[in-house]
Structure 1
Amino acid sequence: MSTLNSSLLQNMSFVRPEYFYISGFSGIPFTNYYFIFLFFTYIIAVFGNSLVLIMIVTDRSLHIPKYIGIFNLALADFGETNALIPNLMKTFLFDSQYISYNACLANMFFVFFFNNVQALTLVVLAYDRFIAIRLPLRYHAIVNNSLMTTALMAIWTFCTALVGSTVVLITRLSFCKTHVIKSYFCDYGPVYTIACNDNTINSVMAKICTVLFVYVPLIAITISYLGILLSLSKITTWAGRFKALKTCVSHLLVVGICFLPVLSTYIAALTFSLHPNARIVSTSLSSALPPMLNPIMYVLNTKEFKDLLFKINMYTVHSIKSNNVAGTM
């Protein structure tokens, strides 16, 4: 009987709030300028990733494994940008820091889903570069469109399952003390830590996701590039080494942009007591900047993209001249 009464009391005390309050950048100075910066970041990210997606879809010469991977990266960047920044801009423009319970879970899922797809896609692209340099004569036999598509579909399935189950675990939590989320979006850690009941399984899942989507990709990419460096050491000429390494520049820059800010934040938090405001600004930058910079890195450092942009520019100039000639006649 006592067990039944205890169960009833637990059910009665379970609180699922109608809304959460996202504290965001409250108390951080010069936030107006930061939101203006985020607005331009959003415009550049949407335009840049849309351009990359359109270029790859429309140009059949780019329908090869490497660019299928870049297409997936641009799609993940586009999704993460739209899952994150519009909500931040809404808070800034309309001073609306409340978000419904269900909308919070949806926001949490999509931000982490696209971020994790991005991280694992970089691992696949590292493998692509490893095979291209390590086994150039067998590259087309090992890496093909079918293999790349299968790998990327597996990434989407894996991220959907793991991120979805992690977010679902939030629904077992009771929020009876505070509904204030000390972050700039419905961040998983700040949400589960304000729960009243046992959140041990949430903490474990957070650690598992950190390992799988931060440390494992970094280790895999590092191993890939160690293999690439070993292969480069076997190339006799410096010109040959430089030519092979040049194909990796864009990928290395994107890896640095995506992982270094996150890693530095984790290290800073472990090394010394990181102020909550500093954590919010650093993590928001590490989420907002990669989707903006990734397409720029690939377009500026990839010959095929530059050649395609040159053709588009020449076609546009020719069309304008033709219209002007037709107008004067």
Structure 2
Amino acid sequence: MSPLNSALFKNTTNDNIVHPDYFVISGFAGIPQTKYYYVFLCFVYALTIIGNTFVMFMIYIDHCLHSPKYIVVFNLALSDLCGSTALVPLVIDTFLFKSHLMSFHACLTSMFFVLGFITVQSFSLAALSYDRCVAICFPLRFNDIVTNKSMSFIIAILWIIAALAFLVAVIYINKLSFCRSNVINSYFCDHGPLHLLACNDNTPSTVMNWACQVVIFWLPVIFIVSSYICITRALLKIAAASERLKAMKTCTSHLILVAVFYLPLCVSFALGGALHMNARIINMSLASVMPQMLNPFIYSLKTDEFRESIKKLYRRKKMHITGRNT
């Protein structure tokens, strides 16, 4: 380690642990013409704010949308908005304004919020599949099983699990010693690339990294796939094709959300080391911002109740303007 690099590291209260003053986020540094990508990210972020704020506003003002399903949709919009706000401005500041340095504690804080909100988004998609599964498999008992109170309780538990998972992850990172390099090969302070920089035993953090992948990705995916297996079996028992189609239409918006969120992650996990580092960074960064932008538009265009709510708001506004003019 050169004298210049050695000056970046300092001992903590424990002499066996060395923490850098700051990390270097390398991210898009090796990718050409990234300034256009940052403009695109600004556009995506603006649409994310507008779309998700609108969804939350519509659900809040329309009592017809005060149902278990839309409690989850509200939660998804909230986590999308918070997750994008935790990530996109930081990415733009880091790379567009050449602020590649991030202090040690700022890095851990960023990791906690970005990955925590992504986890809540994943959990929300699983909660929506639970709502659809009960609605189609147990239609007569749906109102007794899935209530506003029970769904609010589920959402609260999911937030607690996400917060605790990444609080533990941050605690384990804080116990690692970084004495070789402070360059993170990612577009934000990502847990995976960060814990690999440790020069002491990072086994607990490695286990935690795999646990986080299971919590964020595999458990929700397994739950969603299992839910749709049950939904498919229930639909096959419906004799009338029209009723079967009507039931399936209630799942289309959710299936699109699931595809938009999980497919890019599946590509990255499936290709693994075969995927070039730059391609992986672009793919993962898109996976971190595009679903948050698309989710509100998918629900606005694909959900009958939401479209009807928008029409009611438009008619009410039009009547108010007409009445004021007369």
| Match 1:29 to one of 14, 29, 32 | 32
Q: Secondary structure at the match of 1:20?
A: strand
* 2: CA distance, partners of 1:131 / 1:279: 37
Regions of 4+ moved over 6 Å: none
- The match for 1:297 is 298
- The match for 1:141 is 144
Mapping for residues 211-230 of structure 1, pairs under 5 Å = 211-230=214-233
Supply the AA of the counterpart residue of 1:297: I
* 1: CA distance, partners of 2:99 / 2:42: 17
What is the Cα deviation at residue 92 of structure 1? 3.6
Instruction: Indicate if the aligned counterparts of 2:38 and 2:96 stay in contact, CA closer than 8 A.
Output: no
What is the Cα deviation at residue 232 of structure 1? 0.7
What is the Cα deviation at residue 313 of structure 1? 2.3
What is the Cα deviation at residue 24 of structure 1? 1.7
- The match for 2:128 is 125
* 2: CA distance, partners of 1:32 / 1:312: 39
Write the deviation string for residues 55-86 of structure 1: whole angstroms up to 9, x where unpaired: 11111111111101111111111111011101
Instruction: Indicate if the aligned counterparts of 2:23 and 2:182 stay in contact, CA closer than 8 A.
Output: yes
Residue 249 (structure 2) pairs with residue 246 (structure 1)? yes
- The match for 1:280 is 281
What is the Cα deviation at residue 274 of structure 1? 2.1
Mapping for residues 257-272 of structure 1, pairs under 5 Å = 257-269=260-272, 272=273
- The match for 2:53 is 50
What is the Cα deviation at residue 224 of structure 1? 0.5
| Match 1:113 to one of 105, 112, 116 | 116
Supply the AA of the counterpart residue of 1:315: R
Uncovered stretches (5+) of structure 1, i.e. residues with no partner:
1-7
* 2: CA distance, partners of 1:11 / 1:153: 36
Residue 97 (structure 2) pairs with residue 97 (structure 1)? no
* 2: CA distance, partners of 1:65 / 1:12: 52
Uncovered stretches (5+) of structure 2, i.e. residues with no partner:
1-10
- After TM superposition, the score normalised by the length of structure 1 is 0.92
Residue 186 (structure 2) pairs with residue 183 (structure 1)? yes
What is the Cα deviation at residue 322 of structure 1? 5.0
**Superposition RMSD in Å:** 1.6
Write the deviation string for residues 248-303 of structure 1: whole angstroms up to 9, x where unpaired: 0111100111111101100011xx53221111111101111110011111111111
Q: Secondary structure at the match of 1:16?
A: strand
* 1: CA distance, partners of 2:214 / 2:192: 15
Q: Secondary structure at the match of 1:298?
A: helix
Q: Which has the larger displacement, 314-323 or 58-67? A: 314-323
Supply the AA of the counterpart residue of 1:309: I
Write the deviation string for residues 95-154 of structure 1: whole angstroms up to 9, x where unpaired: 111111111111000011011111111111111101101111111011101110111111
Residue 210 (structure 2) pairs with residue 207 (structure 1)? yes
Corresponding pairs, count: 315
| Match 2:174 to one of 171, 179, 185 | 171
- The match for 2:201 is 198
Supply the AA of the counterpart residue of 2:276: H
What is the Cα deviation at residue 178 of structure 1? 1.3
What is the Cα deviation at residue 320 of structure 1? 4.4
